[in-house]
Amino acid sequence: KAGVTQTPRYLIKTRGQQVTLSCSPISGHRSVSWYQQTPGQGLQFLFEYFSETQRNKGNFPGRFSGRQFSNSRSEMNVSTLELGDSALYLCASSLVATGQETQYFGPGTRLLVL
Amino acid sequence: DQQVKQNSPSLSVQEGRISILNCDYTNSMFDYFLWYKKYPAEGPTFLISISSIKDKNEDGRFTVFLNKSAKHLSLHIVPSQPGDSAVYFCAAVGSSGSARQLTFGSGTQLTVLP
């Protein structure tokens, strides 16, 4: 079974621009979560989608948004980019959104904002 | 306010010895804990987990111990191998209804010296 895939793998943008990142979950997985990883901060939870609905949201500004499609693929959008948005963005999928499901991570998209 | 803390950013261990990675948490609502391993340029991969109803879970060379009264968990790797060199994240899951969220620590870089 193919793993979680994320595109693009690397991205360079300038301040003020917007960016869209894509995540394809493992086949059959219906939950997709997004995380931001920066040095020394670990993984910060952005949001989780399940069956096209946002179920949970972390403490990030409204510039960060996402959506999930009927095939469970998810996109994340960041508008009006700031230098501090430079990070590794990881998505993870799991079968269901409740319970103690293990999340499986993609390789991430490394975003550099200049 | 970090609810999951890994106070040691790095740890070096000789090959064949035991590696002990520690993690503390503050939220008593967490009832499921996981350890992930992350190599550079890859997403985190699930290693081992433990439910709060247990105090120990073992899988091959990896054992996780949970001390609920101290809100502390640890990952033991015996014997350590050079291929274990990676960043290790502990994560915790709360049991608040259907909203599931993984809260990660900031990670510990383990280096196993040959």
pLDDT at A37: 92
Is residue B105 within 8 Å of B16, Cβ to Cβ?
A: no
Q: Which residues of A touch B106 (CB under 8 A)?
A: 40-42
pLDDT at B90: 95
Residue-wise pLDDT for B42-55, tens only, equals: 899 999 999 999 99
Question: What whole-number distance in Å separates Cα of residue B65 and Cα of residue B55?
Answer: 6
Residue-wise pLDDT for B7-54, tens only, equals: 999 999 999 999 999 999 998 888 889 999 999 888 999 999 999 999
Res. B98: pLDDT tops 60 = no
Average model confidence (pLDDT) across chain B: 92
Strands B45-51 and B102-104: unpaired
- The alpha-carbon gap from A68 to the nearest alpha carbon of chain B, in Å, equals 17
Contacts of B101 (CB under 8 A, 6+ apart): A33, A45, A48, A56, A58, B93, B94
pLDDT at A99: 55
Question: Which stretches of chain A drop beneath a pLDDT of 70?
Answer: 1, 97-100
Residue-wise pLDDT for A18-30, tens only, equals: 999 999 999 999 9
pLDDT at B28: 87
Whether B102 sits inside 8 A of A45 (CB atoms) is: yes
Q: Name the residue facing B99 among A41, A55, A103 (closest C-beta).
A: A55
Residue A21 Cα distances to A16, A79, B26, angstroms = 16, 12, 33
Strands A10-13 and A109-113: parallel
Torsion sign over Cα B21, B55, A45, A71:
positive
Q: Name the residue facing A43 among B45, B46, B89 (closest C-beta).
A: B89
Q: What is the dihedral of CA B19, B23, B29, B32, to 10 degrees?
A: -20
Whether B32 sits inside 8 A of A100 (CB atoms) is: yes
- The alpha-carbon gap from A105 to the nearest alpha carbon of chain B, in Å, equals 5
pLDDT at B1: 67
Q: Name the residue facing A90 among B43, B105, B107 (closest C-beta).
A: B43
